[in-house]
């Protein structure tokens, strides 16, 4: 099973990102679940979403993920808040929305991936909502699902805006830089 924590701020689409990937995984015949973790937050406040994907077995766990295999950070300023990076499982993968290169981030991980998802979202969508761009980065870093399988959940979720969201996802996939280290 792959466990993912998605850290973002209210309005960036972290909860939606988890839902989109879960739907894509299910369409591929995998088992998946997504859950938000927030209270009465407002736009801009930190938000955490959880995602689990298992290729073979039904997922029976319904608890918070405390030690994720994959950490997705929609806002790099959250790297310095609390225990965001410390939660990452040893040998995990970090995917971060930043203009920095992976080797410039001080994250102890088997792989670190970076992409300027905010820049892509502003150019393609006209707004700094980074979730679909970060979906592309997540796929590039982990192969958790295929890009193709994410298209249908995006069409269902975004309707007439789906084409732009798919474009943001594909562009981020192409632009994501991944540095893999020995385990």
Residue-by-residue pLDDT tens, the chain, 183 positions: 999 999 998 889 999 999 999 999 999 999 999 998 866 556 667 889 999 999 999 999 989 999 999 999 999 999 887 678 888 999 999 999 999 999 999 898 999 999 999 999 999 999 999 999 999 999 999 999 999 999 999 999 999 999 999 999 999 999 999 999 875
Q: Measure the CA–CA gap between 177 and 174, rounded to whole angstroms.
A: 8
pLDDT of residue 39: 60
Q: What are the phi and psi torsion angles at 86 (to 5°)?
A: -65, -25
Those residues whose C-beta lies under 8 Å from the C-beta of residue 97, and which sit 6 or more positions away, are 73, 74, 75, 76, 114, 115, 116, 117, 118, 130, 133, 134, 137
Name the CATH superfamily, with its identifier, for domain 2-180.
Pyruvate-ferredoxin oxidoreductase, PFOR, domain III (3.40.920.10)
Half-sphere exposure of 89 (CA within 13 A, CB side): 14
Angle at 66 between CA 61 and CA 71, to 5 degrees: 105
CA 91, 71, 16, 165 torsion-angle sign: negative
CA nearest neighbour of 12 among 106, 77, 87, 92: 77
Question: Residue ranges of the domains in the chain?
Answer: 2-180
pLDDT value at position 81?
76
The two structure tokens encoding residue 58: 């039904």
Q: What would the two tokens of residue 91 be? A: 């040998």
**Separation between Cα atoms, residue 63 and residue 66, nearest integer Å:** 9
């Amino acid at each position: 099973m792959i466990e993912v924590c998605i850290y973002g701020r209210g309005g960036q689409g972290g909860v939606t990102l988890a839902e989109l990937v879960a739907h894509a995984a299910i369409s591929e015949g995998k088992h998946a679940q997504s859950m938000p973790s927030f209270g009465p937050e407002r736009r801009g406040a930190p938000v955490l979403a959880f995602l689990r994907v298992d290729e073979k077995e039904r997922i029976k766990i319904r608890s918070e993920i405390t030690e994720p295999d994959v950490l997705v950070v929609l806002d790099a300023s959250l790297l310095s808040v609390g225990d965001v990076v410390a939660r990452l499982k040893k040998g995990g993968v970090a995917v971060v929305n930043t203009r920095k290169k992976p080797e410039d981030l001080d994250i102890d991980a088997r792989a670190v991936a970076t992409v300027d998802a905010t820049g892509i979202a502003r150019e393609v969508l006209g707004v700094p909502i980074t979730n679909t761009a970060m979906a592309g980065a997540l796929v590039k870093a982990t192969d958790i699902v295929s890009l193709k399988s994410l298209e249908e959940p995006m069409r269902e979720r975004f309707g007439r805006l789906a084409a732009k969201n798919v474009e943001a996802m594909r562009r981020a996939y192409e632009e994501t830089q991944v540095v893999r280290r020995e385990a």
